[in-house]
Amino acid sequence: MLTAVLIGTSCSLLGSFLILRKSVMIGDAISHSVLPGIVLAFIFTEERAALPILIGAAVFGVLTTMFIQFLQRKSNVQEGAAIGISFTFFFALGVIMIALSTGGNVDIDQDCVLFGEIASTYLDKIFVNGYFVGTRSILTIAPVLLIVILFVVFGMKGLRLTSFNEDYAKALGINVNAWNYALLMLVSITAVLSFEAVGAVLVVGFLTIPPASAYLITNNLSKMLWLSVVFTLLSAVGGTLLALTLDVTISGMIVSVAGILFLLTWSGKIIMTKSKKIEKLSEV
């Protein structure tokens, strides 16, 4: 559950900016196309060491984005198509690489990549001097979350500016590309970590649903970030508990809860605006 909370928080903070940049699907693309990076790192190091895998993923995340932009600029395909081409292509490469390099008997298997299995992450415990310090996944995610939080807190001005008005940022002489790639690299890293927990498909849920719910009900960027974290907490905790009670998949339940929360927020907002209108009418 802690794993889900940590991953979800990273995802929702980064996802907020993806939503504001209208590039959520890039997050989707990245979450899939980091796979070859992971596999390559795995082949070279022959273990599931965290650092090489993260680097491999970050590299492929950025590669994907560059590839998408390159396709758009040079071949005139529209953004949606460019994204579709790049991420399915990279993901397929990754799947083939898994099959070729390992002959099938590995730690990385395709089901896990797609759907993840959060329930098993707690089995992988790390002991220091005989004391239990946490599970492997929590220990990898915590520093990444810290980096994400620092990035968002200190980079707030840059992120706000480049997300709102890229041309203006460029006109101020700000290196817009550096900001974009920094954001997308963090998305890639977070996506890899989320692989184990929720899998490639559900990462997008984490990246999108909580920030989207928050976006509906606030007009302030910092509030939006806070609220999306709150939504993440609610869905992670609620989803895990529900899943345990009903004995179903945890990651699926978490994202379902997030989705239900989104629908609730949305209908709540509709009702609120309607009642406000009625109030105004009755005042007149």
Partner 1 sequence: MISLEAHNLTVAYDKVPVLWDIDFELPTGKIIGIIGPNGSGKTTLLKTIMGLIKPASGYVKVFEQDLDEVRQRVAYVPQRESVDWDFPASVQDVVEMGRYRKNSLFRRLTQTDKEIVANAIEKVKLTAFKDRQISQLSGGQQQRVFIARALAQGADIFFMDEPFVGVDATTETAILDLLTTMRDEGKTVVIVHHDLQTVSGYFDHLVLLNTRVIACGPTAEVLTQENLSNAYGGQLTLLSKIQSIIKEKEFPIREKGFEKR
Is the CB of 142 or the CB of 221 nearer to partner 1?
A: 221
Shortest CB 183 distance to partner 1, Å? 14
Least distance (Å) from partner 1 to the CB of residue 223? 8
Q: CA nearest 2: which of 265, 260, 176, 254?
A: 254
Nearer of residues 99 and 150 to partner 1, judged by Cβ: 150
Smallest distance, partner 1 to C-beta of residue 189, A: 21
**DSSP secondary-structure letter at 218?**
-
Footprint of partner 1 on this chain (CB under 8 A)?
A: 20, 22, 154-155, 157-158, 160-161, 163-165, 167-175, 215, 218-221, 223-224
- Strands (DSSP E) found in the chain: 125-128, 131-135
**Of 119 and 217, CB closest to partner 1:** 217
Beta bridge pairs of residue 10? none
Q: CB of residue 18 vs partner 1: minimum separation in angstroms?
A: 13
Determine contact, residues 75/137, Cβ cutoff 8 Å: no
Query: Assign residue 221 a region: left if phi > 0, alpha if psi is -120 to 50, beta otherwise?
Result: alpha
Residue among 66 and 142 whose Cβ is closer to partner 1:
66
Question: Cβ closer to partner 1: 149 or 161?
Answer: 161
- Is residue 131 within 8 Å of 267, Cβ to Cβ? no
d(CA 19, CA 46): 37
Contact 179, 45 (CB under 8 A): no
For the bound state, the minimum distance from the C-beta of residue 206 to partner 1, rounded and expressed in Å, comes to 20
One-letter amino acid for residue 164 of the chain: F
